[in-house]
Homo-oligomer: A and B are copies of this chain.
Amino acid sequence: LRRDDARVPHGARRSSGSLTYRSEDELVAQLREIVEAQPANRRLLNRIGDDAALWQPSRSHRAVITTDALIESRHFRRDTMSFHDIGWRAMAANLSDLAAMGSRPVLATVALGIPDGLNAPDLAELYRGMLAVGKRYACAIAGGDTTRASELVISITAVGEVRPSNVKGRAGALPGDVLAVTGPLGASRAGLDLADNPYMLAPYLAQAALRAHRTPEPRVNEGRWLAASTNVHAMMDVSDGLSTDLPRMCAASRCAAVIEDVPVADCAREVAHARGEDPQAYALAGGEDFELLIAVNVRAFRHLSERFTKRFGRSLHRVGHVRKGSGVTIVRGGAEEALESTGWDPFR
């Protein structure tokens, strides 16, 4: 899980050690600079920045490749999650990146670092969790690498395929576009908070929160469907929280965004209330929901939304709109405020 270090105050700059990155984005920008000094490769159609890399195995095919590492001390706690669920989440994070590119999953490879004390049944459960969510979306595990490590490391790389005409990315949002997400936010965060205080919620809400946290559903079918629409201009997943990921879409698209309303999951609203926090702020900062964020042609949004609901039995939630400029603001009490990035960042 990506938010278990929420004890680090948001916005605090690391002071110890000599790692001087203020954020993951800053680090990625530096690595991107080094990598992009490589000679261009005509088969490689994008570079670091999108949820996944895009390449061209042949003229009529596009393959998408993504990688995501979960590290025990940072992303999950064995005391609050089963090995099955740790495996599920690790695979789901990769499938969500494939979904964000509008692609159909094909296969995944798994590199495991295995600490002392992890036994064979635990490892089998970890694999069963990965396979369980992989199977839903026809993503096979094709191989991998195993080695010892001082903490549990799960590094998954997943490959998908997408029709050339369906390729989206973060960079296509246009001024005027409607911003929408494929589901209410904050449920995974609520499930995490629930681990420390299980009696905060009524049982049916607790169940929803824990399910969202432990066995989140990547929006693979929704992503493929949305990618097929020319009215969807940009797409990404909000795995680090809307307050972190929307600014990334804006930066990639060189435009600004206004958040009008944040759809909050019922369980997240209750947990926020119990903690005396603002539900919208709580949901904005909540990562790992694996919902998709899209920028849609304003004239097509209503029709697309109706068709989406008919197809998937769930709604597209309008969160705001795109405009010229840069930065993200949020409407609060009728006035616009600058958005603070409160989502998950491994380097903060």
Contact = CB atoms under 8 A, between A and B. Distances in A.
Contacts of A38: 131, 134-135, 140-141
A146 B26 CA distance: 11
A131 B53 contact: no
Contacts of A144: 31, 48, 67
Given A19-B119, A53-B109, A142 B30 contact: no
Contact of A114 (B19, B73, B111, B155): B19
B30 A109 contact: no
A106 to B, nearest CB: 6
A104 B111 CA distance: 22
A59 to B, nearest CB: 10
Instruction: State the copy count for this chain.
Output: 2
A55 B19 contact: no
Interface stretch (A39-47, A206-214, A261-269): A39-47
A305 B120 CA distance: 45
A315 to B, nearest CB: 31
A182 interface: no
B148 A74 contact: yes
Q: Give the interface size bracket for A toward B.
A: 35 or more
A18 to B, nearest CB: 4
Contacts of A142: 44, 47-48, 53, 55, 65
Q: Which of A27, A37, A50 has the most CB of B within 10 A?
A: A27
Interface in A284-303: none
A114 B27 CA distance: 11
A253 interface: no
B118 A19 contact: yes
Given A19-B116, A63-B57, A150-B150, A111 B68 contact: yes
Given A58-B61, A109-B67, A157-B67, A146 B35 contact: no
19 contacts: A17-B116, A17-B117, A18-B119, A21-B120, A30-B123, A34-B127, A35-B131, A38-B135, A48-B143, A53-B107, A58-B61, A65-B109, A65-B157, A66-B143, A67-B157, A68-B145, A69-B145, A146-B346, A147-B346
Given A16-B116, A19-B118, A38-B134, 4 more contacts: A52-B143, A57-B161, A146-B347, A153-B155
